[in-house]
Amino acid sequence: MSVRPILRPSWRALSKFSSKRLMSRHAPPFPTIPSCPAATCTCAPMPEFPEGLEIDHSKPLNGTMAPYAEQLLVCTGQPDWLSRVEEENAGDNLVADVKELVGRGGIYSDPYHNTPLTNSSFQATTPPPYLRDVPTTSAYLLPSFTYVPLIPRSFDAVQALVKGYLLPTRLNPAHEVLSPIHQDRLKRSEAYQAFLPPAQEVEDVLVLICGHGGRDARCGVLGPVLAKGFEGALSRAGVEVLDGPVPLATSSPSSLIPGPVTGPGMSARVGLISHIGGHKFAGNVILYIPPSAKLKGGEPHPLRGMGIWYGRVEPKHVEGIIAETLGEGKVVMDLFRGGVEKGKGMLRL
């Protein structure tokens, strides 16, 4: 018996419901600062955009991020993509494979569990010799802060990724009309994780900048400028900026093994990503701060385990974002689009 008409609410209605429910008058769930402090060094100039593609400064940013449960961030090693990333390489890519399973009409499709599928410029982990003849890629799962270093290009591996990591552990109450078998199909089964090489904990700050020029020129022009700015400013702030693929971590009895140790202090990776919504609010930047993050004094970072979305970021804001958000654990209110935290849902001011 088909139940799709019951379980296919309007995404716009769902977004309105989520926004009204989440945008409360309560105090923000994190420290804040009203605006970004002025830069103390010379910044790159704001690039010019094609005529008719201006930045929207008329609307408040808070709440302009669509709610989601888990973002899949695929390591492609390239800085830009076709407008529809699932069409890359004639449709032979991980985003297309996962979308076939979780997208509308897919066997794991769930309108109450949004999973953005995003490409990144990060390089995939180099496979060990025994897998060199098998095409593989790598992906981050955020805000779970999980890195899956080796995903073989096969249906079984993609299904293991979806069923073992992407699906929810608990279903929305609207799914109670489904049969137990259908409910079980839509829920995560960690047993599937055993079909993939072990995942690793993410220990690095991830600075993700929309640079999807194949989709919109604003992000395509501004994204690379911001990426270069973040790399330079992070280094000046004493943050180790990592480049190249994530190495395989040492084996451990745990199903989720620690990531590679890079030494004391904070480390970060800066990458360009594909469309995340809101090109009119370029530059769009996401800061994923790992659960292990600490402030310089050694105390836990106030934003640990969170993903903080900023919009209308300009080169002049980069130094302040690093100082306040990464250095002090404060969210810049006038740039804040929204946020996410594992197990706690969406974050709003």
What lies within 8 Å, CB to CB, of 106 at 6+ separation is 99, 100
* pLDDT at residue 265 in the model: 75
> Which element (helix H / strand E) includes 328?
none
Is-contact 346 14, C-beta < 8 A?
Answer: no
Nearest to 103 by CA among 274, 168, 95: 95
Q: Which residues pair with 336 in a beta bridge?
A: 310
Q: If one looks up domain 11-64+202-347 in CATH, what number appears? A: 3.40.30.10
Q: pLDDT band at 41, cuts 50/70/90?
A: confident
In this predicted model, which residue has the larger pLDDT, 255 or 213?
Answer: 213
Please state the domain extents for the chain.
11-64+202-347, 71-200
Average of per-residue pLDDT across 151-158: 96
The pairing of beta strand 205-210 with beta strand 256-257: unpaired
3-class DSSP state of 268? strand
Q: What's the chain's average pLDDT?
A: 90
For the cut 50, the answer to whether the pLDDT of residue 8 exceeds it is no
Q: Encode pLDDT of 199-244 as tens digits.
A: 999 999 999 999 999 999 999 999 999 999 999 999 999 999 999 9
Q: 66-83: string of b/e by CB count within 10 Å (b at 16+)? A: bbbbbbbbbbbeebbbee
Q: pLDDT band at 83, cuts 50/70/90?
A: very high
pTM of the model: 0.89
Name the burial class of residue 200, with classes exposed (0-12), middle (13-18) and buried (19+) by CB atoms within 10 angstroms of its CB: buried
Average of per-residue pLDDT across 193-198: 96
* pLDDT at residue 262 in the model: 39
For the cut 80, the answer to whether the pLDDT of residue 117 exceeds it is yes
